[in-house]
Amino acid sequence: MPSLRSRLLRIMIKYILGPKLERAGSSVPELRKLDAFIIKNQKIPKGTDISAVVAEGIAGEWVRAPAAGTERAILYLHGGAFVMGSPATHRELAARLSAAMSARVLVLDYRLAPEHPFPAAMQDAISAYRWLLDTGYTEQNLILGGDSAGGGLALQTLLALRDEGSPLPAAAFFLSPVTDMVRLDGESYSTRAHLDPIASPETHRIIMPHYVGENAPDTPLLSPVNMDLSGLPPLCIHVGDHEVLLSDSVRFAERARACHVDVEFKAWPTMWHVFQANARFVPEARQSIDEIARFVLHHVA
């Protein structure tokens, strides 16, 4: 039974944010204007420390909750369909992740499509991860995470690091990740389309080519869910049951388990895309963050 707060907020999202997304359509400039709306409606927990940082030439923000230590760090890759979003749009979520995992969170301002299609964002993430290692963190004290497009980017980053023989983080977590940027053929694109208050199959099919760019559609890392996932660190995947990207997460979890990766997967009944961003209001979102934190902290040094 969904909480009353989640039901009320879902209505607000449908009738306030939904029309804004519908008016923006597939226009990248119009979608980016929504960043200001998202930033304005955040409330950063009191005492959170936010500071600008440049990691290997890539801008970002350190976000640290008051009680969080500095001995472990999360490299967090924000969502936004690869074309929008920034560290500023994810400060509130990053602060809650910092508090739950008692870690500093580096939210990376990676390059966006269509100006910078694949592999630009992934290269930025790899560079930032190496920078964290160079500044004194060990892989046992590093965590990789991301939501939506940022979740897909996190998976691409893990696979690229593995294939080049780099040390992998102790664990990784994913909030409603995009795990196939080309096919977009999961069954939830049809079965959940009428339930999803935020995303539509049509928008995904128009926006994703901006990220793919001129790369061949059969480029393995553009459909990372279909790659060999063996050797990846423990993975935690949380997704809403009422979103078109549900199948991406289900396939990801099944594929990882088939490759003998330690996976914790949870589909939250009646929840929407990246509902954890609404933890200020929604008890299910706070519970999800706490469960992800327990999984991650079990694996980090």
Q: Which residues are catalytic?
A: 148, 243, 273
Cβ neighbour number for residue 56 with a 10 Å cutoff: 14
What is the DSSP-derived secondary structure letter of residue 200? -
C-alpha distances (whole Å) from 287 to each of 173, 236, 238, 247 are 15, 14, 11, 22
DSSP codes, 215-260: S-TT-GGGSGGGS--TT---EEEEEETTSTTHHHHHHHHHHHHHTT
Question: Which residues pair with residue 147 across a beta bridge?
Answer: 175
- The CA distance from 185 to 190, in Å, is 9
In the three-class reduction of DSSP (H, G, I as helix; E, B as strand; rest coil), residue 271 is classed as coil
Dihedral, CA of residue 63, residue 238, residue 153 and residue 60, to nearest 10: -10
For the chain, the distance separating the N- and C-terminal CA atoms, rounded to the nearest angstrom, is 36
Cβ neighbour number for residue 8 with a 10 Å cutoff: 12
Q: Which helix or strand (DSSP H or E) is residue 147 part of? A: strand 142-147
> Please, where are the H alpha helices in 77-178?
91-101, 120-134, 149-163
